[in-house]
Structure 1
Amino acid sequence: MSQSKVPALDHALRILGLLASVRGPLPASAIAQQLELPRSTVYQLLATLAEHGYVMHLPEERRWGLGLATVELSSAYARQEPISRLGRPLVRQLVDRLGFSGHLALLHGQNVVYVVEERAPGAPSMITDIDVRLPAHSTASGRAVLSAMPKAQVRALFPNSSAFAVGIASSADPMLSTDRAQPVAIDRYSRLRQVLDDTAARGYALEQAAVSPGLASISVPVLDHRGWPVAAMTATFPHPATEEDTYPAIAREVSRAAETLSSRLYNRGPREH
C-alpha cells in the first residue's frame, strides 16, 4: 500500500470505514487496536469527527458510532442517482404485480425522504411524493430501516421524548394497543422499541392509517453489502379493505423487490428466509 501524503485524513477515513463495517459502535481502544493506530491519535481524530457530526460518542457505553452527517452523505449519494434510478423500475414492477401503489424511501436523520413513487391505476394520491420528508417513527418505511439498525444507533437517533414531538396523527399505532379503536401514540423510545422489535420478528414493517386515513403500508429494508439498511421498499394499499391474512403475501413481493435492488446496488446475494 502506498504511503498517504495526508496521514491524518487517511486515518480519519479508515476510522469511518471501520465504523461503517461493523454492526454497532466501538470503544476507541478497539478502533485503535484494529487500525493499528496510537490511542492518542484515535481520540484526537474522533473528537474532530464528532465536532463535524461524522461520529457520535455514547458516553454511558464508552463507545463511538457513526454520526448523522454520515447518514446525510449516504442519503445525498443515493439521491444523486443510483438508488432512484435502479429502484424506479423495480417499484414499477412491484406495482404491476400487486396492483397497489409503491415507493422507495431513504432514512435522513429522524425522517424518511421519498425518492421514488409509483401510483397504481385508480389509486388515491399519497402524501409520500418524491422529496417529501416524514417522521421515520410514523411510517412503515422508517420503521423498516430502523428495525434493521443496531439498537444503540436507533437510541442515539431518538435520545429523548422531544425526538417524537413531530409526528403524523400523533404517530398512533393500533399494533401497540389491545383495543384497535384506541391506538397508542409512539411518543417515547420504549414504544418505538416495541414497534421495531415486533417489526423484526414479523419480517416486515406495518403501518395502518397513521400516515393517510384509509391506507396501510408494508415495508422491507434494502440492505447493503454489510447488512446495513440503506433504504426501504414499500407497498401501500386500502385499509381496512385489504384482508390482513394477505399481508404476508404482500410482504413477500415487497421483500423480493428489496432484495433485487440490494443485489443490483451491492452485488448482494439473496437473503435467507
Structure 2
Amino acid sequence: MLQTAERALHVVQLVASRGEVTLTEVAGALQLSPSMAHRLLRTCADAGFVDQELRNGPYTVGSVLRQVAADVTRGSTLPTLLGGTLRQVAEGLLETTSLAVLEGRNIRFILTEEGTHLVRIARPVRTVTPAHATAAGRAMLAGLSDDELAARYQGMDLETVQPGTIQDWVQLKAELKKVRQRGWAIQVGEAQPGVAALAMPIRDGLGHPVAAVTVTLPYLRLNRSDDARSLARRLRPFADQMERRLASAATR
C-alpha cells in the first residue's frame, strides 16, 4: 500500500513538472510495466489529480492538482494583498483580527494583527483548527455547494474541540444556512473557552470564498445578538475593501 501511494505521488509530480505525459513515459520514468502505470494513472485521474481528455491520449494536470497549486499560491500572496486592510480592521475595531484560509476540513490562520483594546485576545492559540468549530471556517464552508461539503466530510465525524462544538452534520448544515442568509458567521467558546469570533468570507471575482477575515474578542463583548450585528456592520466595509483588492490584483 505504501509503495503504491509513493508511486502515485511520483506520477502526480511527473505530470505537474511536464504538463502532460503519456502512459509509456510514466512507465519508463518510474520503471513500471505498462499495466501498472495505467492503473496508477487511472487512480490519479479518478481522484482528479490528472486528466485525460482523449482515450489513449496524454495525461494532463487535473482540476484537483490545479486547486492545490492555487491554494498554495493564495496562502502566500493573500498576506501581501490584504495585510494593509487587516491592520486597518485591527486599528478601527480595536480588536484582534486575522486572515484564515480553508484547508480541507480545517482552517489555517495565515496572518494576525493584534488589537489595542485594554482587554483583548492576543492571537489565535491554534494555527490550524477544525473549520466547523470556527467562525472563519463556517464563513468559508457556507460558500461551498452541498456536493462540495459532502465531498469534504463524507464518512467523517466532526471533531469535538470544546463541549459546545457542533457535532453532527444536520446541525452544521443548519448553521451554514444561517451564515448564508446573514453574510457572516459567529462562534462563542466553541474553539477556545471564553473566546468569541465573528467572520466574513472574502470572495474572488467568481464568488468563491478564498479566505475569511475574523475578529476575535472576549466572549463578554459578543454574547448578545445586538453585539454581533453591530460588529458585523462595522466589519463589512473592510471585507468589501479586501474583495476589491483581490479583484484589482486579478485584472493586472
Aligned to 1:202: 182
* Number of aligned positions between the proteins: 199
In structure 1, what residue type is equivalent to 2:219? H
**Alpha carbons 1:101, 1:119 under 8 Å: kept:** yes
Tell me, yes or no, if structure 1 residue 246 matches structure 2 residue 227.
yes
Q: 1:147 aligns with which of 142, 145, 157?
A: 142
**CA distance in 2: counterparts of 1:197 and 1:88, whole angstroms:** 29
How far does the alpha carbon of each residue in 1:11-48 deviate from its partner, in whole angstroms, 9 at most, with x for none?
xxxxxxxxxxxxxxxxxxxxxxxxxxxxxxxxxx9974
Q: Post-superposition shift, 1:161?
A: 3.8
**CA distance in 1: counterparts of 2:42 and 2:241, whole angstroms:** 36
Q: 1:211 aligns with which of 176, 179, 191?
A: 191
TM-score of the pair, normalised by structure 2:
0.70
**CA distance in 2: counterparts of 1:160 and 1:48, whole angstroms:** 21
Aligned to 1:190: 170
Give matches, 1:16-95, under 5 Å: 48-51=44-47, 53=49, 67=64, 69-80=65-76, 82-95=77-90
**Alpha carbons 1:110, 1:135 under 8 Å: kept:** yes
**Alpha carbons 2:79, 2:110 under 8 Å: kept:** yes
Give matches, 1:158-237, under 5 Å: 158-162=153-157, 164=158, 166-170=159-163, 172=164, 185-237=165-217
How far does the alpha carbon of each residue in 1:109-137 deviate from its partner, in whole angstroms, 9 at most, with x for none?
111011110111242323356xx111000
Q: Post-superposition shift, 1:212?
A: 2.0
Structure 2: runs of 5+ lacking an equivalent: 1-18, 21-40, 52-61
Q: Post-superposition shift, 1:66?
A: 5.5
**Alpha carbons 2:121, 2:217 under 8 Å: kept:** no
Aligned to 1:127: 124
User: Residues 88 and 190 (structure 1 numbering): CA distance in 2 closer, same or farther, change over 3 Å?
Assistant: same
User: Residues 85 and 128 (structure 1 numbering): CA distance in 2 closer, same or farther, change over 3 Å?
Assistant: farther
**Alpha carbons 2:221, 2:227 under 8 Å: kept:** no
* SS of structure 1 residue aligned to 2:216: strand
TM-score of the pair, normalised by structure 1:
0.65
**CA distance in 1: counterparts of 2:130 and 2:67, whole angstroms:** 15
Which entry has the higher C-alpha Rg, 1 or 2?
Answer: 2
- Superposed CA RMSD: 2.7
